[in-house]
Amino acid sequence: MADTKVYQASTTAPVNIAVVKYWGKRDPKLNLPTNSSLSVTLSQSDLRTHTTAACSSTFGPEDTLLLNSSPQDVSGARTQACFRELRTLRSALEASNASLPKLASLPLRIVSENNFPTAAGLASSAAGFAALVRAIANLYELPSSPTELSRIARQGSGSACRSLFGGYVAWEMGANEDGSDSVAVEVAPASHWPTMRALILVVSAEKKGVSSTSGMQITVATSELSKHRFAVVVPKHMEAMKKAIQEKDFETFGKVTMVESNSFHATCLDTFPPIFYMNDVSKAAIRAVEDINTRAGKIIAAYTFDAGPNAVIYYEEENTDAVAGAVKGVLGELDGWEGKEVKVQDTKAIDAKAVQALKDGVSRVILTSVGEGPIRTQDSLISTIGEPIRK
Amino acid sequence: MADTKVYQASTTAPVNIAVVKYWGKRDPKLNLPTNSSLSVTLSQSDLRTHTTAACSSTFGPEDTLLLNSSPQDVSGARTQACFRELRTLRSALEASNASLPKLASLPLRIVSENNFPTAAGLASSAAGFAALVRAIANLYELPSSPTELSRIARQGSGSACRSLFGGYVAWEMGANEDGSDSVAVEVAPASHWPTMRALILVVSAEKKGVSSTSGMQITVATSELSKHRFAVVVPKHMEAMKKAIQEKDFETFGKVTMVESNSFHATCLDTFPPIFYMNDVSKAAIRAVEDINTRAGKIIAAYTFDAGPNAVIYYEEENTDAVAGAVKGVLGELDGWEGKEVKVQDTKAIDAKAVQALKDGVSRVILTSVGEGPIRTQDSLISTIGEPIRK
């Protein structure tokens, strides 16, 4: 009798926000980067992708992926690479143990939900591919370590490899041509420095103009300054950042985070034609952070910007009021402050023009913190008969 | 009997807009740059400083400078350096020819007028110091060449050295510690490539936030990427630009101009804290130029930005309608088009958001062209008895 069972497994996976940025591929097919990078994994209480992977002989014949109820194209080389690599690992397991069900050959049905807007510069593809790889690895009961899985997730979306760990995570660029050593490793678990907080100012939820994938290729092809960034700047920043995290030295962490973000956006501007991800609202966020630090007399807040205008501001829990409270003084009317204990501070310290630009341009805030890596869950997005469940 | 005569001489001097940018001093006292630079001198019909230098035993005891009717501080090291160097040259003349009047020891009275807003990023200090040095050199009847005078003007304001020539001008950084070889030279006279036009979009006439002088020092001190710019990027651009000018190759001239401007602003962004001179209106100007070039199928327009948000768009006369006409389609209501023959083009080719940002953010336009160096004039700003004349 044919096996018509619906096999399934679910996971959640986190967003990560880099403090040393990935921008540039030395091998676009394998997603091998021109430089190492380092990120903080954010708490899944606030930002996560939830994914259920299922397989069954009753599905198919095609693999499918539903994201926030919309069918996604899975025929692209990146998604196919992830499926193929995971199936290869499952096949090896099945070959070594004849009692295992033959899942590798079955069509996959993946259902995914983000609790945040897709493609708004909130690293949704990182959480998405990390969840996809982790969910299928769970479904296939692979014994692979997070670092081993990171090699696969990297092929889906470079920065996804870092979302397979919690806490503070490095993606070591590696040297091998086949990408076997281009993987994520834990720099420190969230528990090592649990007081790290992040305040995200969502500047625009519009889809961005230049995709990261094509943008970074043009940077590599045209930016003279990016050569120096890859060869000299990033290696320095990686070393300084790892040390700052080991020592829980926020001033260094913050300084390097800000300089790094600026260096990355400088190479975007040095691209031809130039790429602008930050806008005048982003600049107002930078000014606000500078003014908050000036008032504190030291670096207690650090901005960073990915490939979009949203500001992510890192700070330590003890400075919640001085940092998030000062921003709340400006943006207290917006969604995102509910349920978070933040005492409003006066905004006198912040430049009046920056205050106005933030009021005009920020649409919501997200308050979160360093968090854990992917978490297996019994909460499924696919029913026992294989139908997607709307949440 | 004491000589109470008022000696005087007048000149006008042009603005120059660099296509390879000066940003960074290796010696702040002597204004010795970290890299060579290259500029186009703009026509004095549209933008100029007019300066009269006078000296008399009836003046004083202090040297004075009136700019647009406002007394200026001349005690600063930069102005003092210019006065001192010019007096030294005059003293040598007087020593070698006893019949010459003893002007070097007399108090100076300088009166200057700009026909454009001061310190709005329109290179007013370049025209100002070039006019000051040229006017005093005229007053002292110095036989010095423009290159010799450029060594003096450079000490007043770096880019002023380039305003001592018309046409296409290089400031060779030099290697000597005393700055004796850090001077301006003519790359080509205006007559070599007289069809070069410039359209300036004045985005803001406010005084800028970070002065060039302090901004470039912070860049040198903090920007890692600037090291690569000084050592590798600028030398390449200087060579390419000189060749493009010799060959009147606008596509190369335009490409290098745009890449250069972006490289300079990238190092400003890589400065810590970051320096932003371009704003969202500047970015809209970049987009408009990109769209105009896309429509033309080649580079017929090139943007460049100095230490401020104003866009300067270079183009050739034959493309006046395609470039300036397209901008006039957007900004035809503004001041600055009067008396210039520009046929309005439809604006369909230009991104709608960029059109709106330009309409909202540009306050006036200036249409001008490549022009001549300082021109001696009998039109004086000081009366025969030494009083300033209001024009």
% of chain A with per-residue pLDDT over 90: 92
CB B186 within 8 A of CB B168: yes
Rg (CA), chain A: 21
Q: Which residues of B touch A258 (CB under 8 A)?
A: 272-273
| Distance to chain A for B288, nearest Cα, Å | 12
State residue A155's pLDDT score.
Answer: 96
Q: What is the mean pLDDT of residues A271-280?
A: 95
Which secondary-structure segment (H or E) carries B183? strand B183-188
Q: Count of CB contacts below 8 A, A vs B? A: 78
pLDDT over 80 at A360, yes or no: yes
3-state secondary structure of B336: coil
| Distance to chain B for A362, nearest Cα, Å | 16
**Candidate from B269, B270, B290 with C-beta closest to A273:** B290
Question: What are the start-end ranges of the H helices in B182-249?
Answer: 212-222, 224-228, 234-246
Cα-based torsion angle of the residue sequence B263, B266, B272, B277 in order, rounded to the nearest 10 degrees: 100
If contacts are CB pairs under 8 Å, which of residues 121-150 in chain A contact chain B?
Answer: none
B354 CB within 8 Å of a chain A CB: no
B252 CB within 8 Å of a chain A CB: no
Which secondary-structure segment (H or E) carries A107? none
Q: Which residues of A touch B269 (CB under 8 A)?
A: 262, 265-266, 269
DSSP state of B163: G
State residue A206's pLDDT score.
Answer: 60
Question: What are the start-end ranges of the H helices in A197-301?
Answer: 212-222, 224-228, 234-246, 250-269, 280-296
CA dist A356 to A172, A281, A362, B361, Å? 41, 9, 10, 17
Minimum CA–CA partner of B255 in chain A? A272
CB A160 within 8 A of CB A153: yes
Cβ separation B266–A262 shorter than 8 A: no
Tens of pLDDT, residues A196-224: 999 999 997 565 567 888 999 999 999 99
Q: Which amino acid is at B390?
A: R
CA distance B64 to B43: 28
Cβ separation A233–B225 shorter than 8 A: yes
Task: Please state the domain extents for chain A.
Answer: 7-189, 196-369
B232 CB within 8 Å of a chain A CB: yes
Which secondary-structure segment (H or E) carries B186? strand B183-188
pLDDT over 80 at A116, yes or no: no
Where does B7-190 sit in CATH, by number?
3.30.230.10
Q: Is the preceding peptide bond at B101 cis, omega within 30 degrees of 0?
A: no
State residue B121's pLDDT score.
Answer: 59
**Candidate from A225, A258, A274 with C-beta closest to B225:** A225
3-state secondary structure of B38: strand
CB B345 within 8 A of CB B330: no
Cβ separation B270–A290 shorter than 8 A: no
State residue A119's pLDDT score.
Answer: 45
A272 CB within 8 Å of a chain B CB: yes
Query: Quick count: other Cβ atoms within 10 Å of Cβ A292?
Result: 25
State residue B213's pLDDT score.
Answer: 87
CA distance A198 to A301: 9
pLDDT band at A266 (very low <50, low <70, confident <90, very high): very high
pLDDT tens digits for chain B (391 residues)? 578 999 999 999 999 999 999 999 999 999 999 999 999 999 999 999 999 999 999 998 999 999 999 999 999 999 999 999 999 999 999 999 999 999 999 999 999 999 876 545 566 789 999 999 999 999 999 999 999 999 999 999 999 999 999 999 999 999 999 999 999 999 999 999 999 999 999 997 555 567 888 999 999 999 999 999 999 999 999 999 999 999 999 999 999 999 999 999 999 999 999 999 999 999 999 999 999 999 999 999 999 999 999 999 999 999 999 999 999 999 999 999 999 999 999 989 999 999 999 999 999 999 999 999 999 999 999 999 999 998 7
State residue A121's pLDDT score.
Answer: 59
| Distance to chain B for A306, nearest Cα, Å | 15
CB A174 within 8 A of CB A182: yes
CA dist B379 to A278, B112, B123, Å? 49, 12, 23
Tell me if the domain spanning A196-369 has CATH number 1.10.4160.10. no
Helix-then-strand count for chain A, H and E: 11, 16
- Which residue out of A21, A229, A256, A262 would a mutagenesis test of the B interface target, given it has the greatest number of B Cβ atoms within 10 Å? A262
pLDDT band at A300 (very low <50, low <70, confident <90, very high): very high
Cβ separation B283–A276 shorter than 8 A: yes
> What fold does the segment set A7-189 form as a domain?
Ribosomal Protein S5; domain 2 (3.30.230)
State residue B2's pLDDT score.
Answer: 75
Give the tokens for residue B57: 């035993």
Which long-range contacts does B260-264 make (Cβ < 8 Å, 24+ apart)? B260/B19, B260/B20, B260/B21, B260/B304, B261/B21, B261/B303, B261/B304, B261/B305, B262/A269, B262/A270, B262/A271, B262/A272, B262/A274, B263/A224, B263/A225, B263/A270, B263/B21, B263/B229, B263/B233, B263/B237, B264/B21, B264/B23, B264/B229
B64 CB within 8 Å of a chain A CB: no
CB A136 within 8 A of CB A13: no
Give the tokens for residue B314: 């270079």
Give the tokens for residue B199: 């359209």
Cβ separation B265–A269 shorter than 8 A: yes
Query: Quick count: other Cβ atoms within 10 Å of Cβ B163?
Result: 34
- Which of B206, B196, B241 has its CA nearest to residue B370? B196
Cβ separation B269–A266 shorter than 8 A: yes
3-state secondary structure of B287: helix
CB A107 within 8 A of CB A74: no
CB A164 within 8 A of CB A153: yes
Tens of pLDDT, residues A333-348: 999 999 999 999 998 9
